[in-house]
Amino acid sequence: MKIIINIERLALDGLALDARERAALEAALEAELGRMVAERGISPALLAGGALPSLSGAAIEHSPDAGPAALGARIARSVYGSIGAPEPSAPSHPGD
């Protein structure tokens, strides 16, 4: 199965990055999102294909000391939370 994720625009309000930092953020975002999709899959609603005109991820906390690669990984986890396969539910009774 081939999955293509195209992020046309990523809004990072109040964060100024130079070209090197943007490249590091993009590489980390791509690597982490790719890893999560490969390991956990995507939402069954998206398996048939299609496009989402926009996506709002969960808010993230970022420390400027962490750097752009760490921010890229956090953004990837936020995006995955909106497109990823649901977590398997835990058994309701121990031993199930």
Q: In this predicted structure, what is the pLDDT of residue 37?
A: 92
Does some domain include residue 5?
A: no
Whether the per-residue pLDDT at 90 is higher than 60: the answer is no
Residue 14 lies in a domain: no
Q: Domain for residue 91, yes or no? A: no
21: tokens are 């930092």
The stretch 58-85 carries a mean pLDDT of 88
Residue 52 lies in a domain: no
Judged against a pLDDT cut of 70, whether residue 94 lies above it is answered with: no
Structure confidence at residue 92 as a pLDDT band (50, 70, 90): low
Select from 53, 54, 49 the least CA-distant residue to 2: 49
User: Rounded distance, CA 55 to CA 15, Å?
Assistant: 20
| Domain, as residue range, for 29 | 25-43+63-84
Report the pLDDT value the prediction gives residue 5, as an integer from 0 to 100: 82
Separation of alpha carbons 63 and 74, rounded Å: 11
Tell me, yes or no, whether 92 lies in a domain: no
Number of domains in the chain: 1
Collapsing DSSP states into helix, strand and coil, what is residue 8? coil
Task: Tell me which of 53 and 80 has the higher pLDDT.
Answer: 80
Q: Three-class SS of residue 42? A: strand
Establish if 12 belongs to a structural domain. no
pLDDT tens profile 20-46 = 999 999 999 999 999 999 999 888 888
Residue 16 inside a domain? The answer is no
Does a structural domain hold residue 57? Answer: no
Q: Where are the alpha helices (DSSP H) in the chain?
A: 19-40, 68-83
What pTM was computed for the model? Answer: 0.80
